[in-house]
Structure 1
Amino acid sequence: MKRSLSFATLLVVIAAGTAIADDFPALRNTEPDPGSAMTASQSAASFRVPPGFRVNVFASEPEVQNPIAMAWDARGRIWIAENYTYAERTQRFDLGLRDRVIILEDTDGDGRSDQRKVFTDNVQMLTSVELGQGGVWLLCPPQLLFIPDRNGDDVPDAAAEVVLDGFTVPAENYHNFANGLRWGPDGWLYGRCGASSPGRLGTPGTADPERIPMNGGLWRYHPTQKRVEALTHGTTNPWGHDWNEFGEAFFVNTVNGHLWHAVAGSHFVRPHTIDPNPRTYALIDQHADHWHWDHSKDWSDSRKVTGEHDRRGGGHAHSGAMIYLGDQWPEADRGKLFTLNFHGRRVNVERLDRSGSGYVGRHEPDRLFAADTWFRGIDLGYGPDGGVFVLDWSDTGECHDSTGVHRTSGRIYKITRGEPKRAVVGDLAKSDERSLADLHRHSNEWFVRMARRQLADRSMSGDRLDQAREALRTMLVDDPDPVRKLRALWSLYAMGVADEELLRKLLGHEHEAIRAWAIRLLTDRMPLDTVTSQRIGPAVAVPEGGLVEFVRMAKEDRSGLVRLVLASTLQRLPIAQRAELAAP
């Protein structure tokens, strides 16, 4: 007995038709000492948070168990990937079990889930879930899967399609595998992978010489171009990433540093493996000016979370990353990166300061300290009302400390400042195109990203969306706020209507982030070559006159960020053209 289930909750579960399917394998707990766990309500009450903040239980076992990842849909519902196949270190994964995707909804706005559905319970080694393009994307190493649900009735239309394969789960390391599906502002689907789980990625049937080597860091896949690329290489175990308001990506990591600016083409330091390109001159170190543990000692020592380790932030392991761009927490939190410190049972806070050619992460006071020794925070993100949701794996070990696996536990906490106002979402899938364009002015980035996803999906389905195009082009040209300009630009590009003429004009824009993104989008179709000296895939020509303009910018542009993006772009150019840009 680890958790008690109220009779009322049991009735809700049964009435909603969400009991475990008859053929769903019985769950086995191998954790030897479950008696020390708090109930979900006790755990929520025991969190130490800043004055004015509150923690409540959004969902707990048996409604949710072993939550490993989350995503949001157009109705403001949260989708949870539940992983039951994760097993003891000697077994790695128990393939006699299956994993599950559930949908949780708070219909009355009281901050707690009261409706639950099972979308699928027939996948294994599930690490991530994302929605879009008329279905559900699941990362189940060695494969990226897509389950169609074109009519949005929460029932799969057909069996899962294998979109990519070639990810690995090596025998000697089973917690660095591929994870982290998230839509980027540019319309690509992004993911992460640990350096100890190298892969060779491609669509099914791709010959090995044509596959993309993946050796840690971030990768991305374009759903219409059917193209995958490795964005970065290195680090140890990235398990969280997000974008700031200017579209710069950041991810968190374990052991050899915790914060990285994810610049395309980067080769980052790695503690235990060899970089795939033997000609790298030097590997890039982390972009934080501090550590969250006493790194003068062995990294494994920080799991003790005492003394200097505790003072610096709680330990080496980080899971989940959120750059807060909601509108419910204090304005001072906007733009800061929050990550769960796994062993320290807290949230670390990073202030992302623009510096030189990139950013520096500076340590802000830690937040959300958990007293529950079972708390294993694994992901976090803000929802439609601006409140932050935290997934708790809820167990006693993991990350080198496994004493067994407790599969019948799991919680989702919601952290708000005071009592949040209920957000009216409706169903954005049914919103008209002009309303979706207007949402690009919303103070909560959640609505902006959901609106972009809807517009991109409709455009890819053949809708012209003339009103949305006109409204977004007007915003891009006339709105004085560079953030809203960027929002409009990204959505136009994700819709496939940001043409070369438009992007070329933006190369001379007064704001550095807009110039930087114009370079990125102009060269987006050119394959990134991060590993070898050979072009991977078919060559794509530089836009006419583009190289001349890039060379001029390299010589004259005073922005370090623009020059950083130009340096990143070198790996997209044909080899014969690289020196001309590299020199300036």
Structure 2
Amino acid sequence: MPGDAEAKRPAGTGWYRCWVKVPDNWATLGGRDLWVESVTLTIDSSHAAHEAFINGHRLGGAGLFPPDAKPSDGKPKRYKVPPGGLAKGKWNELAIKVFNRDGLGQFQDNGPSIQGYFLECLFSGEWEYRPGTEPPPPGQALAAKPPRAAYDQFHEASRVLFEAQTLVHGERLSPSESLARFELDDGLAIETVLHEPLVAQPTHLSFDARGRLWVSHYVQYPYPAGLRQISRDKYYRAKYDRQPKPPPHHTPGRSRVTVHEDTDGDGAYDTHKVFADKLSLANAALPGRDGVWVMHTPHLLFYPDRNADDIPDGDPVVHLAGFGFEDTHSVANGLAWGPDGWLYGAQGSTVSCRVTRPGIDPLGTTGVHFEGCMVWRYRPESREFEIFAEGGGNVFGLEFDTVGRLFSGHNGGGTRGFHYVQSGLYLKQGKSPGKFGPPDNPFAFGELPMMPGGEIPRFSHNVIAVNGSAMPDAWQGKLLGADPLHRHLVLSERSVRGASFITRDVGFPVKNSDVAFRPVYMANAPDGSLLIADFYERYIAHGQHYQSQIDPTSGRIYRLCAE
């Protein structure tokens, strides 16, 4: 078999073949897209030129075959199995054509494997082999189980992941084409204010005292720059080979922070500057205190810029360290200034932290530990750090309304989000002890709930309280949620219920039929309008991003207002 170091491997061109019966939902077109769009074939390492086929359809390959033979580079390869490529209830043929010049080339480690979103099958047993350039018949799935080299045992996926050399981008419309796909309620207007190449993977928007727009481009996501994944679980929580250092001593990545200005007041951003680039897990930037704060997990950085020339005065200062990055779609995020002058941030559901204050806490201190979703805050002047509220959904983005109350969205159903109070102990995203661990305070009298909202499908992940003067009067004070899964914005009204709120959806005023429209963040703008950050991805589930189904070159920002 390909992975057996002692196996005899004939020189020249030949075909390895096995058969696999996959879970039904991997092959059910018309069902949930996530399952059929999340199937990949992985070849850990191969020094032989190869091409991989499923049921006679080519998935990809590496190296060259004669007459211009060239071996593969020996790096792991991942190939997408397209929707419809697998047959339901049948034995699918996996064939790998190889050119083994001298008989020394081999598939290494455990051999090839096939992965879905949560399950995988390792082809580490028997394989068939056929010499020559002609593929073995039949080149299609079989109804009856083959007598040999047949696999149907799947288990929770745990093989380490890596960024594929070729990324799968999915369908993509031009900015003007996507803009034309918007469906707006009467009385609304929308326009594109920034798009690629000026914007890519935007995850956070903020404004400085001059009204300029700061954009965080999370382009390095999902893999930390320079690190190697050494293990992971089915929830995509991973361990890496080391802790990254802060800039400028880090491995340079692709993320960046930019600033955009409308110098002539015509509503168009006409100057564009890169404030910081070659960053790794940087997903939020917030100007203030004579500089810019950047959430660059595992560190909270401060770039001093006293003369406000948009050039850092020196290397960033590490104010906090120890934020977890087990799952990079849940890392610390959403930087926001609170009405109390503290800097607030969020942490998602599938990471943990042990936060320390470099230069303040003694070396070796364990830090402030927390597992899962929560809201934290930091006071720069006194270097105080604390957990503000425990629990929530997979918290992404924070919003203070006009009277200082704190909200976030939720990546589950049944709610439009959470209303947080200081020291509140809130329901976490779920109750699975394998995912979230035991309750953090076993002596608490239960947990505070999310805001009830009725029958709501998942999810409105980011919410803001509308307060802009250029927005409709009927919207003022209402919550607006961004739903990247269903590609729309949802407007909800709040009603007081005890010490918190309940919500009621009043409409979906902004929709887009472009399958890549993914609103992930919103901000009330200084001109009274509302800006929307569009991650712009055909594939939006984080597991798909770890499978390298992601387009790091795309992103848009829209301005929404009343006509």
- By the TM > 0.5 criterion, same fold? yes
Equivalent residue for 1:326, pick from 428, 449, 468: 468
The correspondence of residues 356-375 of structure 1 with structure 2, limited to 5 A, is: 356-375=498-517
Tell me if structure 2 keeps the 8 A contact 1:57–1:112: no
Question: Alpha carbons of 1:287 and 1:319: their partners in 2 closer, same or farther (altered >3 Å)?
Answer: closer
Q: For the residues of structure 2 that align with 1:87 and 1:248, how far apart are their CA atoms?
A: 32
Equivalent residue for 2:345, pick from 191, 200, 210: 191
Structure 1 position 28, deviation (Å): 9.5
Structure 1 position 237, deviation (Å): 0.7
Structure 1 position 255, deviation (Å): 2.2
Question: Alpha carbons of 1:255 and 1:114: their partners in 2 closer, same or farther (altered >3 Å)?
Answer: same
Tell me if structure 2 keeps the 8 A contact 1:213–1:230: no
Partner residue in 1 for 2:441: 277
CA distances 1:9-37 after superposition (whole Å, capped 9, x unpaired): xxxxxxxxxxxxxxxxxx99844354x31
Q: Please tell me whether Structure 1 or Structure 2 has the larger radius of gyration of its CA atoms.
A: 2
Q: For the residues of structure 2 that align with 1:339 and 1:243, how far apart are their CA atoms?
A: 14
Partner residue in 1 for 2:299: 143
Tell me if structure 2 keeps the 8 A contact 1:146–1:162: yes
| Aligned-partner SS, 1:290 | coil
The answer as to 2:168 corresponding to 1:32 is yes
Amino acid across the alignment from 1:72: F
Amino acid across the alignment from 2:354: R
Partner residue in 2 for 1:393: 535
Question: Alpha carbons of 1:29 and 1:349: their partners in 2 closer, same or farther (altered >3 Å)?
Answer: farther
CA distances 1:122-151 after superposition (whole Å, capped 9, x unpaired): 321001110100000000111100000000
Q: For the residues of structure 2 that align with 1:141 and 1:276, how far apart are their CA atoms?
A: 23
Q: Percent same amino acid among aligned pairs?
A: 29
Q: For the residues of structure 2 that align with 1:292 and 1:278, how far apart are their CA atoms?
A: 30
Partner residue in 1 for 2:375: 218
Equivalent residue for 1:51, pick from 186, 189, 198: 186
Equivalent residue for 1:317, pick from 459, 477, 482: 459
Question: Alpha carbons of 1:398 and 1:416: their partners in 2 closer, same or farther (altered >3 Å)?
Answer: same
Structure 1 position 116, deviation (Å): 0.5
Equivalent residue for 1:160, pick from 298, 316, 329: 316
Question: Alpha carbons of 1:210 and 1:241: their partners in 2 closer, same or farther (altered >3 Å)?
Answer: same
Structure 1 position 284, deviation (Å): 1.8
Q: For the residues of structure 2 that align with 1:318 and 1:379, how far apart are their CA atoms?
A: 10
Partner residue in 2 for 1:201: 355
Structure 1 position 175, deviation (Å): 1.3
Q: For the residues of structure 2 that align with 1:113 and 1:60, how far apart are their CA atoms?
A: 11
Equivalent residue for 2:261, pick from 105, 115, 133: 105
Q: For the residues of structure 1 that align with 2:167 and 2:516, how far apart are their CA atoms?
A: 11
Amino acid across the alignment from 2:335: L
Q: For the residues of structure 2 that align with 1:243 and 1:188, how far apart are their CA atoms?
A: 12
RMSD between aligned residues: 2.4
Q: For the residues of structure 2 that align with 1:266 and 1:409, how far apart are their CA atoms?
A: 38
The answer as to 2:387 corresponding to 1:230 is yes
The answer as to 2:350 corresponding to 1:350 is no
Tell me if structure 1 keeps the 8 A contact 2:416–2:453: no
Partner residue in 1 for 2:520: 378
Amino acid across the alignment from 1:218: V
Q: For the residues of structure 1 that align with 2:343 and 2:169, how far apart are their CA atoms?
A: 40
Amino acid across the alignment from 1:76: G
CA distances 1:370-389 after superposition (whole Å, capped 9, x unpaired): 11111111111121211111
Structure 1 position 222, deviation (Å): 0.6
Q: For the residues of structure 1 that align with 2:186 and 2:208, how far apart are their CA atoms?
A: 31
Instruction: Between 408-417 and 104-113, report the one with greater CA deviation.
Output: 104-113
Structure 1 position 358, deviation (Å): 2.0
Structure 1 position 84, deviation (Å): 1.6
The correspondence of residues 453-468 of structure 1 with structure 2, limited to 5 A, is: none
Partner residue in 2 for 1:264: 422
Question: Alpha carbons of 1:28 and 1:64: their partners in 2 closer, same or farther (altered >3 Å)?
Answer: farther
Tell me if structure 2 keeps the 8 A contact 1:290–1:362: yes
Structure (1 or 2) with the greater helix fraction: 1
Q: For the residues of structure 1 that align with 2:402 and 2:165, how far apart are their CA atoms?
A: 42
Q: For the residues of structure 1 that align with 2:283 and 2:169, how far apart are their CA atoms?
A: 26
Equivalent residue for 2:285, pick from 129, 140, 147: 129
Question: Alpha carbons of 1:348 and 1:397: their partners in 2 closer, same or farther (altered >3 Å)?
Answer: same
| Aligned-partner SS, 2:461 | strand
Question: Alpha carbons of 1:43 and 1:29: their partners in 2 closer, same or farther (altered >3 Å)?
Answer: farther
| Aligned-partner SS, 1:231 | strand
Q: TM-score, normalization: structure 2? A: 0.62
Partner residue in 2 for 1:118: 274
Partner residue in 1 for 2:217: 82
Tell me if structure 2 keeps the 8 A contact 1:99–1:123: yes
Structure 1 position 267, deviation (Å): 1.4
| Aligned-partner SS, 1:65 | coil
Structure 1 position 211, deviation (Å): 2.6
Partner residue in 2 for 1:249: 406
Q: For the residues of structure 2 that align with 1:195 and 1:258, how far apart are their CA atoms?
A: 17
CA distances 1:247-266 after superposition (whole Å, capped 9, x unpaired): 11111121265411111111
Instruction: Between 341-350 and 316-325, report the one with greater CA deviation.
Output: 316-325
Partner residue in 1 for 2:131: none
Question: Alpha carbons of 1:88 and 1:154: their partners in 2 closer, same or farther (altered >3 Å)?
Answer: closer
Structure (1 or 2) with the greater strand fraction: 2
Q: For the residues of structure 2 that align with 1:131 and 1:66, how far apart are their CA atoms?
A: 20
Structure 2, unaligned runs of 5 or more: 1-162, 230-237, 245-250
Amino acid across the alignment from 1:181: L
Amino acid across the alignment from 1:140: H
Q: TM-score, normalization: structure 1? A: 0.59
| Aligned-partner SS, 1:41 | helix
Amino acid across the alignment from 2:496: R
| Aligned-partner SS, 1:368 | strand
Partner residue in 1 for 2:5: none
Amino acid across the alignment from 1:113: Y
CA distances 1:448-495 after superposition (whole Å, capped 9, x unpaired): xxxxxxxxxxxxxxxxxxxxxxxxxxxxxxxxxxxxxxxxxxxxxxxx
The answer as to 2:455 corresponding to 1:336 is no
Tell me if structure 2 keeps the 8 A contact 1:321–1:339: yes
Partner residue in 2 for 1:240: 397
Amino acid across the alignment from 2:350: S
Amino acid across the alignment from 2:375: L
Structure 1, unaligned runs of 5 or more: 1-26, 294-315, 419-584
CA distances 1:520-564 after superposition (whole Å, capped 9, x unpaired): xxxxxxxxxxxxxxxxxxxxxxxxxxxxxxxxxxxxxxxxxxxxx
Equivalent residue for 2:336, pick from 163, 166, 182: 182
Amino acid across the alignment from 1:391: A
Q: For the residues of structure 2 that align with 1:401 and 1:228, how far apart are their CA atoms?
A: 34
Q: For the residues of structure 2 that align with 1:193 and 1:202, how far apart are their CA atoms?
A: 15
